[in-house]
Amino acid sequence: MLDILGTIGGNILSLPGILGLAVGMMTRNLVIASILGAVIGVAETVIFAGFDFAAIEPLELGIAVAVGIVAGSLGCGLRRKGATV
């Protein structure tokens, strides 16, 4: 259980979370933001596995993609709503 929570937390604070949020804020289209977040999640997993596809664990890949999708969607929502005072 701690391994799964550590993987989720690591992905939120790593490329899929931060870069997914930034890429999501560059567009107003929710679908494009979600797709770009998922692509960042896949790229992060492949890069950190050393481009060795045998070293990629499906759970880590799924979590990275899910975090990327959520972060991209959140970034798009922030862009649409903007800062209201």
Q: Are 64 and 11 in contact (CB under 8 A)?
A: yes
Tell me the domain boundaries of the chain: 2-80
Q: Are 33 and 76 in contact (CB under 8 A)?
A: yes
Quote the pLDDT of residue 1.
Answer: 85
Quote the pLDDT of residue 83.
Answer: 64
Query: In the 8-state DSSP scheme, what is residue 43?
Result: H
pLDDT tens-digit profile, the chain (85 residues): 888 999 889 989 988 999 999 999 999 999 999 999 999 999 999 999 999 999 999 999 999 999 999 999 999 999 988 866 6
CB atoms within 10 A of CB 9: 12
- Cα–Cα distance between 16 and 40 in angstroms, integer? 6
φ/ψ of 39, rounded to 5, equals -65, -40
**Tokens, residue 30:** 């929710």
